[in-house]
Amino acid sequence: MPASATVVRDGVSLAYWRWPGEGPAALLLHGIANYARYWDFFADAVAGRLELVATDARGHGDSARPDDGYAPADFVADATAVLDAVGWQRPLVVGHSMGGGHAIAFAAQHAARVAGLVIVDNSPEPMASGSERARRLTSARPERFADASEAEAYLRRTSPGYADAVYANRLRFAFRADGDALAWRSSHDALARIFAAPRGDRWAALASLRCPTLVVRGTRSNVLSAETYARLLATIPHARGLELEAGHNVALDRPRELAEAVVAFAREVA
């Protein structure tokens, strides 16, 4: 089981989880409205072959929810603080969706601290269907549920098709007790500020990358199109690609296949 810890940067408490392992180190960054333990199934499949640290991004999970500070630069600085806290100098950085964008920004700004980069279903030009869905689910969601059964029914209705274990994971880590009810751990205001934050020229950042990069796409993704995926591989200087039969949440749909690819890549670039 992973162990939890916190580090404080500029007064903001940042939670992270650490899985022990004997292989290279990998930092895991989750997507919007998710949490560090989103990576549980991936970590189980890695099975100690890598040392893993997954963060609760600010505004999410057990990390603090400041009133502001949700630009990409803030998340990059948070990742640096976590790496300093665990004493890692040059890990593999793995990011899904929003976390993929933060991983790209981190690698572009701190090239000397990145052994390699894995971008999982992140797009500089998201497909309209996926972008609109993410905004709808974060802005129009109920903020409280009467009990776990009501929360689970909502999850199954809005995100169907996952194994029972995925819904159990989400119930445990996406929500917190709020009296007799359940409330989201991710902050509604934080999510709105993340969507509103300027993101700069993402294609320029991708072209500037100098580390080995693995770009992963779910073939049923509603975020990363086949055309944009091909452009990513053509733009990033040292990129290779991997497509898996999955939706946007590759780590939930195909944790074993993703883990095998990431372990092999980590060993190659270490």
Kindly report, residue by residue over 208-228, the tens digit of the pLDDT: 999 999 999 999 999 999 999
Kindly report, residue by residue over 63-110, the tens digit of the pLDDT: 999 999 999 999 999 999 999 999 999 999 999 999 999 999 999 999
What is the dotted CATH code of the domain comprising 3-126+189-269? 3.40.50.1820
Confidence label for 49 from pLDDT (cuts 50, 70 and 90): very high
Confidence label for 172 from pLDDT (cuts 50, 70 and 90): very high
All residues at 6 or more sequence positions from 15 whose CB lies less than 8 Å from its CB, including other chains: 4, 5, 6, 36, 55, 56, 61, 62, 63
End-to-end CA distance of the chain: 24
Query: Does pLDDT of 61 surpass 90?
Result: yes
Query: Does pLDDT of 1 surpass 90?
Result: no
pLDDT mean over 136-155:
95
Tell me 219's DSSP state: T
pTM over 0.95: yes
Kindly report, residue by residue over 35-47, the tens digit of the pLDDT: 999 999 999 999 9
Mean pLDDT, the chain, rounded, equals: 97
Query: Does pLDDT of 199 surpass 90?
Result: no
> What's residue 245's pLDDT?
98
Q: Where are the beta strands (DSSP E) in the chain?
A: 3-9, 12-19, 25-29, 51-55, 92-96, 116-120, 144-145, 175-178, 181-184, 213-218, 239-244
What are phi and psi for residue 223, nearest 5 degrees?
-120, -50
> What's residue 23's pLDDT?
87
The candidate with the shortest Cα–Cα distance to 98, out of 114, 66, 121, 73, is 121
Neighbours of 142 (CB within 10 A): 11
Can you spell out the DSSP letters for 112-166? GG-SEEEEES--SS--HHHHHHHHHHHHSS-SEESSHHHHHHHHHHHS-S--HHH
> What's residue 164's pLDDT?
98
Confidence label for 190 from pLDDT (cuts 50, 70 and 90): very high
- The percentage of the chain sitting over the pLDDT mark of 90, rounded to a whole number, equals 97
Kindly report, residue by residue over 240-255, the tens digit of the pLDDT: 999 999 999 999 999 9
Tell me 33's DSSP state: T
Q: Which residue has the tokens 């990998």?
A: 26
